Amino acid sequence: MKQYALAIIGGGASGMMAAIAAGKSCKEVLLLERGGRIGRKLLATGNGRCNISNRNAQHKGYHGAVPEFVRPAMDRYTVDKTLRLFEEMGLPVVEEEDGKLYPYSLQAAAVLDVLRLELERLGVEIRTDSEVQTIRRLKDGSFRLYVQSGEEKQEYAARRVIVACGGEASAGLGGCSGGYRLLEGLGHKITPRLPGIVQLKADMNGLKGLSGSKFEASLTLRDGKKVCRKENGELLFTDYGVSGPPVMQLSATASRLLDRGRKPVLEIDFLPEFDEETLTKMLRRRAHTRPDKRLEDYFTGFVPKRLGQCILKLAGTAPLSRLAGSLTGQEIAAISRLLKCFPVQITGTNGMKNAQVTLGGADTSQFDPYTMESKLVRGLYVTGELYDIDGDCGGYNLQWAWSSGQLAAEEAVRSLA
């Protein structure tokens, strides 16, 4: 049986990056992928544009039991270093809002192409349709991998192993729990998993009319009186709840609160550019200037019709045939309040299969953050989403995959010398 210097399990973002980093100085690198091709999930990232990293991704913007775990990897393999690496591979990047970085072509396929070409150039051996089912550590410190490939069972020998199997999120794109099982088989602890970067389910009672509507809004996620997170951006109402970039951004916090049995509320400010007092004055003036307008038309030219009607209904000003001039000061204050602070009860997430990232995973206390090596099994390394680490939406998760992949590979190869 051929003995590889390094076997990498998982041909996703961190596995490919690890194989490239290792392949530069090591000739016997094997990359095993259970799917029919490598990098399948990468093609779907950033809505097919691949938000490859974020200019602001440092150790901040990451979560988990010990978010500080990411610091050494992020300090050593910084965003700039990663971008230089991609540039060397032929992939220039472009920066958009909030520091989000994309391939210049705005095509995720371009990212996968340069990674594949580099793997080929470096002579990394790639085996697809190869699911690692068990890892065994031999007495001499090397490893044996037991692989299912179609109907066939195969075995591989390697001196070092990197487990880069990703998390459970988005099973349709390759997410699975295989990596957790492999680590558990070697004595590692896996913390409970939850969906992150995911749409949120909400109590849509009285809000059904808004389904399909989009608003530039400011969102505040509250747990009782406590403000847990604030985000701005385009909010989308759906038939089950809320979606859109600001919702995805605060969804991990909501997911954790829901898991603790809390009942988070999303407060929507539909008109963040006005404070409540100014808005109340504007609404009062509106009612006084055209007192003969029916409430049905009260918001016309100012707030989208469906939102206006929903607000009037919740403010209890029915019927819509009433005249604007008949609105009382109290009613106008209630309308203003709802436009500035519209409460939506969050009831759940849209589940792991729709999530972009897994919260929870391999317990980071059992790994060395300076090498990514297991403290329990020497010679075994872990990268990326498999850890109990999740990043904010906007390129943070891929940057963690790139940084942890490079660190694990370089340390694994160094330990062989």
Residues that bind ligand FAD (CB under 6 A): 9-15, 32-35, 41, 44-46, 50-51, 131-132, 164-166, 169-170, 173-174, 176, 178-179, 356-357, 384-386, 395-398, 401
Structural contact between residues 401 and 13, judged by C-beta atoms closer than 8 angstroms: yes
The label of the residue with tokens 């604007």 reads: 324
**What is the sign of the dihedral through the CA atoms of 45, 81, 66 and 220?**
negative
> Amino acid identity, residue 76?
R
Provide the angle, in degrees to the nearest 10, between the axes of the packed helices 13-23 and 396-416: 40
Sequence-separated (6 or more) residues with CB below 8 Å from residue 29: 4, 5, 6, 7, 8, 19, 22, 23, 122, 124, 125
Whole-angstrom distance, CA of residue 376 vs CA of residue 27 = 27
Beta strand pairing status for 241-243 and 226-237? antiparallel
Q: Which residue lies nearer to ligand FAD by CB, 193 or 222? A: 193
Backbone angles phi, psi at 100, to 5 degrees: -70, 135
Residue 39: CB minimum distance to ligand FAD, A: 7
Whole-angstrom distance, CA of residue 378 vs CA of residue 373 = 7
Residue 405: CB minimum distance to ligand FAD, A: 7
Residue nearest to ligand FAD (CB): 12
The label of the residue with tokens 């978010």 reads: 67
Residue 170: CB minimum distance to ligand FAD, A: 4
Q: Which residue lies nearer to ligand FAD by CB, 218 or 356? A: 356
Residue 14: CB minimum distance to ligand FAD, A: 3
Structural contact between residues 99 and 56, judged by C-beta atoms closer than 8 angstroms: yes
Q: Which residue lies nearer to ligand FAD by CB, 179 or 369? A: 179
Q: Which residue lies nearer to ligand FAD by CB, 356 or 374? A: 356
Residue 183: CB minimum distance to ligand FAD, A: 11
Residue 146: CB minimum distance to ligand FAD, A: 10
> Amino acid identity, residue 110?
A
Q: Which residue lies nearer to ligand FAD by CB, 336 or 404? A: 404
Q: Which residue lies nearer to ligand FAD by CB, 315 or 407? A: 407
Both tokens assigned to 75: 């300090």
Residue 252: CB minimum distance to ligand FAD, A: 12
- What is the C-alpha end-to-end distance of the chain, expressed in Å? 22
Whole-angstrom distance, CA of residue 382 vs CA of residue 369 = 10
Burial call 150-165: b when 16+ CB within 10 Å, e when fewer = eeeeeebebbbbbbbb
Q: Which residue lies nearer to ligand FAD by CB, 279 or 386? A: 386
Residue 16: CB minimum distance to ligand FAD, A: 8
Q: Which residue lies nearer to ligand FAD by CB, 149 or 347? A: 149
Structural contact between residues 52 and 378, judged by C-beta atoms closer than 8 angstroms: no
Q: Which residue lies nearer to ligand FAD by CB, 133 or 232? A: 133
Residue 265: CB minimum distance to ligand FAD, A: 27
Both tokens assigned to 160: 């070092």
